[in-house]
Structure formats: structure tokens, C-alpha cells
Amino acid sequence: MKPTNPMAQLEQWKANHKATSNNETQNESVKNTQGNARSEVKSKYQGKLYANPLAFKCSQFTRQFKLILDSNRKCLEVYPDDFHHKIKFRDELTDLVVRLKTGGKLFNEMVKAQGAKLSSNNQETIRNFNQANDYLIHKFGEVIAQINQLNIERIEGDKLQGGNNE
């Protein structure tokens, strides 16, 4: 029987049309229909995606991280001489990620030391903390990776411009 709920139909379609059995990610180019000149081609991911539930609950945070990524790209394109600020931002994010990872690790070790003494409410709180920590680490990691990539593009562009002047 075919479900009448559109979301249920979508889930059924997704289940029937899995890309591969091992969930490898495939990139597919999609033309930008929003009219944004700065990003003409977007990647559409198929397969296994980052599946933290907070990515959906915290849609405004996710949107803000998208704006950060767009800002990084625009900074390189429009203000290449000021890209050093993005490098500083990357360094700060890297430090923050290290602190979040080590703090989360320490917190979970302390929780394990408590053992069976935790109530179900406390276990839920710990699970929520770990989700939030993983979400932030993942999102900060995306920004760090993008800034690294943009920095490589900037350096290669500088080398090409320097080679043309000689």
C-alpha cells in the first residue's frame, strides 16, 4: 500500500532508491536557481550524510554556519588582502575544536567513572551534551577545512600572478 503522507512517500522512495549498498557519497553538480552569482554550482550529496539530529533541530545555527562559509568565499574573492583575518579565525576555531574534543573526552571519562549511579535523566543529559559537542565540532571542522582550501587557492593564485609578471 502506498502511503498518502508526502514525507512517508519520500522516505519510502529513499529506501527503494539507495545509491549503493555501502553508502558511498557521490557528488552531483546542480545549477544554482537562487540567482546567487558567487556560488554558481552547488554540490548535492547522495549517500550517507552527517546525521546529527541537531542539524535539523538547530536549523538557524546550521544556516549561520552556511553564511560563514559564504562569507569566507566572498572574502577571498572581494577582499583577498584581508584574508589573513580568516586565517586567524581558522586558528581560533582549531583551538576551540581541540578544547571541545578534550573537554568532551574528559567529561565522558568522568561519566564512566560514575558507572551505574546515573539516573536515566542524567544519561539523557549526557547524550544531549555529546550530540551538541559533536555538532559543534563537525560544523567548526567544516569551516576550518573550507578556510584551508581557500588559503591553498589563494596561494596558488598568488603564484600564478607572480609567474605572469616575470
Residue 80 has which C-alpha cell? 583577498
- Beta strand residue intervals within 2-150, DSSP E: 26-31, 41-46
- pLDDT for the residue 29: 45
Please say if the pLDDT value at position 18 is more than 50.
yes
pLDDT tens for each residue of 93-117: 999 999 999 999 999 999 988 876 8
Q: How far apart are CA 116 and CA 66, in angstroms?
A: 40
Question: Mean pLDDT: which of 5-14, 26-35, 45-54, 60-69 is highest?
Answer: 60-69
Compute the mean pLDDT over every residue in the chain, rounded to the nearest whole number. Answer: 80
Q: Is the pLDDT of residue 24 over 50?
A: no
pTM value surpassing 0.85: no
